Amino acid sequence: MIRISLGALAGITLLLAGCGSPGHGIIMATPPPSPTQLAPTIALPLDVKRYAENPCSMVQSGQPVTKDLLPGSNDGASTCVWRARTPQQPLMTATVDLVSGGLEGLYRKRTRLPYFEPTEIQGYPAVRYDPERAVPDQGRCAISVGVEDDALLTVTTTIADPKTLNFPVPCPDADLLANAIIADITRR
């Protein structure tokens, strides 16, 4: 029979307890906590980066949503603009956004946006938002569609004439253009 004195047992216990503490020769293999993802996952990424230089090519000519507008023209940094022929028609833009951090970046600043409404376009997670007003009214609406982890398709619509039927509810126009763009890109 083996006899261990209480003093020896206490020493062994302290020795073993000291070995398991970080900084005493044992490296813990616990990974650091990852930041929580706020935005919905993009199940099937859509390559919009190829349209950054020519965003007007995202929509094929003859789409009903743009047929009554002036033809789209590149208006600088990855943006296509369809200008209204009359004040009653919307001015519409589509931008390939590769710098804001994708949908996750938009979700991270959601508390600073007066209006933030998650939605979906063609099965892709999207957000209608406004950086100034709590309601998308007065002829302006923006919607950003998460098409890749680091890319957004952002569509805006602006209606100049307050007497126009869509002036108080401009988001359906933005949704129509976003739907047309996603549909055209996925068909290619």
Three-state SS annotation for the chain:
CCCCCHHHHHHHHHHHHHHCCECCCECCCCCCCCCCCCCCCCCCCCCCHHHCCCHHHHCCCCCCCCCCCCCCEECCCCEEEECCCCCCCEEEEEEEECCCCHHHHHHHCHHHCCEEEEEEECCEEEEEEECCCCCCCCCEEEEEEEEECCEEEEEEEEECCCCCCCCCCCHHHHHHHHHHHHHHHHHC
Confidence check: pLDDT of 66 > 50 = yes
- What pLDDT was estimated at residue 69? 86
Q: At 124, list the tokens.
A: 């892709």
Confidence check: pLDDT of 25 > 90 = no
Long-range contacts of the stretch 128-133 (C-beta < 8 A, 24+): 128/171, 128/174
- Of 14 and 83, the one with more pLDDT: 83
- What pLDDT was estimated at residue 123? 95
Least confident window among 16-20, 123-127, 159-163 = 16-20
Q: Rounded CA gap, 144 and 24, in Å?
A: 51
Confidence check: pLDDT of 16 > 50 = no
Confidence check: pLDDT of 34 > 60 = no
Confidence check: pLDDT of 183 > 90 = yes
Q: Rounded CA gap, 99 and 133, in Å?
A: 24
Q: 9: pLDDT confidence band, cut at 50, 70 and 90?
A: very low
Q: List the one residue out of 85, 30, 23, 76 whose CA is nearest residue 54.
A: 76
Confidence check: pLDDT of 17 > 70 = no
Q: 76: pLDDT confidence band, cut at 50, 70 and 90?
A: low
Least confident window among 22-26, 41-45, 181-185 = 22-26
User: pTM (2 decimals)?
Assistant: 0.78
- What pLDDT was estimated at residue 27? 46
Domains of the chain with bracketed CATH:
49-187 (3.40.1000.10)
